Amino acid sequence: MENFTAYNPTKLHFGKNVTDKLGETVGEYGKRVLLMYGKGSIQKNGVYERVMQQLNSINAEITEFSGIKSNPLVDDVSEAAQLGKLNHIDVIVAVGGGSVIDSAKVTALSIANNTDPWAIMTFKAKPKTTIPVIAVLTLAATGTEMNGAAVIQNHKTDEKRGYVSPLMYPKSSFLDPEFTYSVPKDYTAYGIADLIAHSLEAYFGEGDATLSDRIIEAVVKEAMEYGPLVLKEPGNYEYRSKIMWAATVALNGSTNHGRKYGDWGVHDIGHNLSYLYDTPHGATLTIAYPAWLKLQKGRIPERIAKLGNQLFGTNSADDTILLLEKFFKSIDCPIKLSDINIGKEKKKEITDQMLQTQINGMVHKLTNEDREKIVELMM
Amino acid sequence: MENFTAYNPTKLHFGKNVTDKLGETVGEYGKRVLLMYGKGSIQKNGVYERVMQQLNSINAEITEFSGIKSNPLVDDVSEAAQLGKLNHIDVIVAVGGGSVIDSAKVTALSIANNTDPWAIMTFKAKPKTTIPVIAVLTLAATGTEMNGAAVIQNHKTDEKRGYVSPLMYPKSSFLDPEFTYSVPKDYTAYGIADLIAHSLEAYFGEGDATLSDRIIEAVVKEAMEYGPLVLKEPGNYEYRSKIMWAATVALNGSTNHGRKYGDWGVHDIGHNLSYLYDTPHGATLTIAYPAWLKLQKGRIPERIAKLGNQLFGTNSADDTILLLEKFFKSIDCPIKLSDINIGKEKKKEITDQMLQTQINGMVHKLTNEDREKIVELMM
């Protein structure tokens, strides 16, 4: 077991009507609120109205920044930060999924340190402080509601980058499973895929962390049991709850204690696909994971088979990969690039991108030959 | 799934030599330190010296309070609080197992609120603030190093009571598995029993919390795999690590999210046995759990069998209980009162105690007939 620090300062409120305490919580930090959200789905499903009622109940002075894309752009973060500084905001309320909350986290750092957000993402600026972020989650997927990570994309430098800082934990997060009822079937499935992928990135990390491994198996089993059920009954509170909480646990530290770090090679591949084709994050992962496992199966057959044993009762690495593909297909996720209409003619473009950004894992290092092979395996 | 709040503010440092940062951490809170510990085992195994080096490195003014019993007494807490107030201490450093850390938590409340500790334990005083507690754990068992609970005994009122408050989370905890090498075999086994019992109290709680159930199964499997190994090789770092971390996870909230509360009836029985005969806490639990399960097996056969299926691959509640007893015996824990030389002649005394204190669970309510039956089943 590796040395580690277990620390997660986010106070997470989970369940029906938990946002009834949102106003009170926001009020602890001040009245000047930057309200960030996405492309307006929260205005259709009633979440916007409920959040506004809460903010109005404390007479908040609200500055709105909306339109954040599902693969969030640093330009939007810059703009939000300018707006936040201009209005001397005390606290950010982020209402949405991973893209909105990630954008809010980096916006908060940018405001508090008076720093360009991309300088933060590229480690050129070292933020020392932040302003509080309160998250209202509307999509079960990334786990950002209870961790210190954010992923942001920059079209000028052709990159999608991740950044982790203890300053970026939301102060509080509000998770009402009912807020995810209106998430469409495809994005519900991508969220399930995402939480499984997060668990697997930890599983294929560095360090003998047996209890964390068992917790990973628990999270993936939960996702595999309730994922198909929630897709059949999107308005079922229990099923939505199970998936929402599993997505949080998949990336709130619980699966990583005793490990040095996860691998995250598959996410690196996925981020590049999202960058090239604006493919939803979850969909890139169900394409990239089988390919990555096929590349690794000769190198770590026992580790893959151990996972297969726990999830599917098989002792074969090959069968584990097949059964994982079968599960992804069963929830209508793509497992090949051709499933999302990206054909052989894009092979060079994708390979060039993977070689240019030198996609890599933190543990299982990839050669250029591996990079080419993975693209082939995804076709 | 029940509504819940996931929040655990303790910063826990785990691994080899983590106490090298103890001085720095204590220094964040001040220089006047109340150092609390037990009956002196830390002076024999080198832990005391390492802690003193750390405290001296920040020129701490140290007030010592030692001699805390393994079933901690409120009189000691009172005395420690007097001493702490007299010396205007800034921070408590608790070095030991659950009894020392629990005592420190209540001492901190008593000092900060200028309140009698038993008034706190009996809800007569409502503490509003506390002073920081830093824990250095030397025994893997109770999980107190990462939760807001404490158990204290009072010989004047004939009670052993538990108290839970968000104020009681240690600010930081330091867990070096090497610090547990010198724990004798019996107390190592009681710690394993304790962490299993904590997991089961949650498992038999209220609320449909499937992911938390799976995490419980993970924790108990970890304990059942590495428990017997650490007893064979008490100086094995990996085995000590596995048990130490499993004991923390068993009671840091991870097993309870989505549940209203655990049952805790078995702990109530155990506390009464400890009160009567000063029986080590873990030993009372391996006696009480089988008896409690035998009482409940007609009432919740499916729940018991579900646990058995996960742990032992059986679908029978009876076999689950037998196999749990077998495991406890395999780590040399008592499963009957006769195993700790408490004979039939004590039956009336024990029954009277259980009836007087009205032992009960929070979920599975006990009648007087149940209480008598449980005593019989423990004989």
Model pLDDT for residues A276-290, shown as the tens digit of each residue = 998 999 999 999 999
| Residues B190, B175 share a domain | no
Q: How far apart are CA B40 and CA B46, in angstroms?
A: 11
Question: Does residue B6 sit within a domain?
Answer: no
Q: Which of B2, B3, B220 to mutate to test the interface with A (most CBs of A within 10 A)?
A: B3
User: Which residues 319-358 of A are in CB contact (within 8 Å) with B?
Assistant: none
- Indicate if B165 and B218 belong to the same structural domain: no
How high is the ipTM of this complex? 0.96
Q: Are residues B61 and B193 in the same domain?
A: no
Q: How far is B159 from chain A (nearest CA, A)?
A: 34
- Contact check, Cβ <8 Å, A13/B1: no
pLDDT of residue B111: 98
Are B171 and B52 in the same domain? yes
The answer to whether position A197 is within a domain reads yes
Domain-embedded: residue B3: no
Q: B215: which chain A residues are within 8 Å (Cβ-Cβ)?
A: 215, 218, 254
Which residue among B132, B155, B179 closes a domain?
Answer: B179
Hey, what amino acid is at B95?
V
CATH number at residue A154: 3.40.50.1970
The verdict on A70 and A121 lying in the same domain is yes
> How many Cα atoms within 13 Å fall on the side-chain side of residue A335?
16
Shortest alpha-carbon distance between residue B327 and chain A (Å): 19
Are the beta carbons of B6 and A241 separated by less than 8 Å?
no
Write down which residue in A179, A202, A236 finishes a domain: A179
Q: Is the same domain home to A223 and A174?
A: no
Considering the domain architecture, whether residues B134 and B238 belong to the same structural domain is answered as no
pLDDT the model gives residue A145: 98
**Number of domains present in the structure of chain A:** 2
pLDDT score, position A270: 95
**3-state secondary structure at position B165:** coil
Mean pLDDT, rounded, of chain A: 97
Average pLDDT over residues A249-260: 97
- Same domain flag for B161 and B231: no
Residue A290 within any structural domain of the chain: yes
Of B2, B4, B238, the CB nearest to A1: B238
Per residue in B82-120, pLDDT tens? 999 999 999 999 999 999 999 999 999 999 999 999 999
Whether B214 sits inside 8 A of A210 (CB atoms) is no
Question: Taking a contact as any Cβ pair under 8 Å apart, which residues of chain B between 189 and 228 contact chain A?
Answer: 208, 210-211, 214-215, 217-219, 221-222, 225-226
Residue A245 shares a structural domain with residue A360: yes
pLDDT digits (tens, 9 = 90+) for A114-136: 999 999 999 999 999 999 999 99
* Cβ separation B208–A238 shorter than 8 A: yes
Let me know whether A232 and A368 are in one domain: yes
User: Would you call B258 and A246 a contact, using CB atoms and an 8 Å cutoff?
Assistant: no
pLDDT at B155: 87
CATH code assigned at B260: 1.20.1090.10
Range of the domain at A120: 11-179
B242 and A4 within 8 Å at the Cβ level: the answer is: no
Q: What is the pLDDT of residue B157?
A: 87
Residue B4 falls within a domain, yes or no?
no
B2 min Cα distance to partner chain A (Å): 7
**Is residue A5 domain-resident?**
no
- The residues of chain B scoring below 50 in pLDDT are none
- Using a CB-CB cut-off of 8 Å, the residues of chain A touching B135 are none
How do the residues of chain B divide into helix, strand and coil, expressed in percent and rounded to 5? Answer: 55, 15, 30
CA distance A301 to A294: 10
Of A179, A208, A235, the residue that ends a domain is A179
Q: Is A240 contained in some domain? A: yes
A171 touches chain B (CB under 8 A): no
Residue A97 lies in a domain: yes
Q: Are B16 and A5 an interchain contact pair (Cβ–Cβ within 8 Å)?
A: no
Does the beta-carbon distance from A210 to B217 stay under 8 Å? no
- Domain co-membership, A225 together with A153: no
Residues A371 and A293 in one domain: yes
Chain A residues with CB-CB distance to B169 below 8 A: none
